Amino acid sequence: MTIFEVIRNDHNLVKKILGEMLSIKDTDQDKQTELLEKLTMELTLHNRAEEQIFYKFLQENAETRDLIEHSKEEHEEVEELFESIKNYNPGDKNWMKQLLEIQKNLLHHIETEETESFDKAKEIMKAGQHHTLADEFQKAKKEWSAKL
Ligand SMILES: [Fe+2]
Ligand SMILES: [Fe+2]
């Protein structure tokens, strides 16, 4: 797999969990709590590995440095939303409002990453790095998962 495939797979998983949460009709608090924990964990591991491996690569290039600053801010923003959703009761009106806000932010962030960031990265990345960065990304995720 390439770094782009690995990142895209993570994004798809995050979108899948979000979709599941938004499709629960009844207020199933336990299910929502369980899915929120899963989503928080998946996203945290993804963001840490992404910053450590993919963003670091882009940061070393003058052309892509600004792009990454913005992306990092978006990681912080969405992580704050994950903190504040904990103040609401799973499945209630405010909680759902907050979840929709999370979805909006995440979809925008993912879309930008898979288009703008991927395109620019492909321009500057050597062919061999597509795979080595994928391995480093997976390794970083494992290390974070042992820490969190
Ligand atoms: Fe990201
Ligand atoms: Fe990402």
Looking at the CA of 8, name the nearest ligand: 2
Domains of the chain, by residue range, sit at: 3-147
pLDDT tens digits, residue range 19-44?
999 998 767 899 999 999 999 999 99
Contacts (Cβ under 8 Å, ≥6 apart) of 63: 120, 124
The yes/no answer on whether domain 3-147 falls in CATH 1.20.120.520 is yes
Cα–ligand 2 centroid distance for 10 (angstroms): 7
pLDDT tens digits, residue range 83-139?
999 999 998 899 999 999 999 999 999 999 999 999 999 999 998 999 999 999 999
Q: Is the pTM of this model over 0.85?
A: yes
Cα–ligand 1 centroid distance for 26 (angstroms): 31
Cα–ligand 2 centroid distance for 12 (angstroms): 10
